[in-house]
Amino acid sequence: MGERLRVVRHVLAENPLNLVALLLLALLLGAVVAGPALAPYDPLATNTPLALRPPSAAHWFGTDQLGRDILSRVVVATRLDLAIAASAVLLSLSAGAVAGAAMGYFGGLLDRAVGRVVDVLMAFPLFALAMGVVAALGNSISSVVYATAVINLPFYIRLARAEVSVRRNLGYIEAAQVGGSSHARILRVFLLPNIMAPLVVQGSLNLGWAVLNAAGLSFIGLGIRAPTPEWGIMVAEGAQFIVSGHWWLIAFPGLALVLAVFCFNLLGDGLRDILDPRSRT
């Protein structure tokens, strides 16, 4: 543990952007944990006389076309958007790691069959594939999670397969086979734990893509439905007012999206530096 903490301090000192990512992550997690308590107003409460007010001391981010406080909606939406992204990444990482590890370990027909399925998934434009999944399953939070998990699944399958293919003939795997360990035990105890570092790094990068995917689906009307506070919905609702000069309706939810994606991309770089010694040499 002490060695790991020294590595973390070294990585933060060597690249200040890693510290920026850590601070942004703390800000996002704070909004996730205490979002409703931090929101100064009810994010669903309408107040038509205050509609389309610019940012002010009373409403820091202004109000929307129904008089709802944009700051409150942006803060509360953080929990939903990050929950969708985290659930989708966790689901695709878990399934992709197991499938890819099995492909890399057993090879043969399983490798070829699943590999062709992955090739078919990768041949589709990923956002169009997500649209098709949500359209088939219906507009709901679970549909967005499944759609986002499906389009991220090939990344983990390919990465896990490549990592296991390199390790399956190493000495400690052969020793486990000679010692009588079953294939399931070798995968569970010796291979999967040793390939988690690159998968976690890939997962942190996919979090940003998952946030964008969820917001994009909501923007085109295939994701979360209004009046639920969600960044993509807020941008879609504000887009029709941008020509009239009400810039704050899309500026602040759009900025929240940018910061979330920026945070997870930087976090992926920092995790790679911490988990992969070769990147620090």
Q: Which of 19-43 are b and which e, b meaning 16 or more Cβ less than 10 Å from the residue's Cβ?
A: eebbebbeebeebbeebeeebebeb
Tell me what pLDDT residue 173 has.
87
3-state secondary structure of 2: helix
CATH number corresponding to 2-35+81-280: 1.10.3720.10
Question: What is the spatial distance between Cα 281 and Cα 271, in angstroms, rounded to a whole number?
Answer: 15
DSSP string, 150-207: HHHHHHHHHHHHHHHHHHTTSHHHHHHHHTT--HHHIIIIIITGGGHHHHHHHHHHHH
Q: Where are the domains of the chain?
A: 2-35+81-280
* Inter-CA distances, 193 with 168, 199, 238, Å: 13, 10, 45
Q: What is the pLDDT along the chain (281 residues), one digit of tens a residue?
A: 556 566 566 556 667 777 888 889 999 999 999 988 889 999 999 999 999 999 999 999 999 999 999 999 999 999 999 999 999 999 999 999 999 999 999 988 888 988 888 888 888 888 888 999 998 888 888 999 999 999 999 999 999 999 999 888 888 888 888 888 888 999 998 899 889 888 988 998 899 999 999 999 999 888 788 888 999 999 999 988 988 889 999 999 999 999 999 999 888 777 776 666 555 55
* Inter-CA distances, 176 with 181, 196, 256, Å: 6, 19, 49
3-state secondary structure of 144: helix
Give the DSSP letter of residue 53.
P
- Which helix (H) or strand (E) segment holds residue 59: the answer is none
Question: What is the spatial distance between Cα 179 and Cα 174, in angstroms, rounded to a whole number?
Answer: 8
Both structure tokens of 250: 């899309």
Tell me what pLDDT residue 12 has.
60
Looking at the DSSP assignment, which residues form a beta bridge with residue 69?
A: 63
Residue 271 contacts residue 204 (beta carbons within 8 Å)? yes
Tell me what pLDDT residue 7 has.
59
Q: What's the CA angle centered on 24, arms 22 and 30, to 5 degrees?
A: 100
pTM of the complete model: 0.88
